[in-house]
Amino acid sequence: MPEIVVHAVEGRSAEQKKNLMVKITDAVVESFGVDRDVVVVSIIETKATDKARGGIPYSERNKT
């Protein structure tokens, strides 16, 4: 059973996350030749204050 985990900063809508999960599932079905029912996709969200790139929290990035 393929299981895919996506790590992302919070802020996407439920519709955006569902769309991503459907597209990932489609790609795994096509690439691995498995049934849709065996593909598991999880989205792990992190608060922007709890994730950083280059030492700068996402909550502070792109502020002008």
Cα 34 from chain centroid?
A: 21
> In the chain, count of helices (H) and strands (E)?
1, 4
Q: What is the dihedral of CA 33, 38, 39, 42, to 10 degrees?
A: -170
Q: In the prediction, which pLDDT does 30 show?
A: 98
Q: In the prediction, which pLDDT does 64 show?
A: 55
Superfamily of domain 3-60: Macrophage Migration Inhibitory Factor (3.30.429.10)
Helix or strand or coil: residue 3? strand
pLDDT digits (tens, 9 = 90+) for 33-64: 999 999 999 999 999 999 999 999 999 987 75
- Domain limits, the chain: 3-60
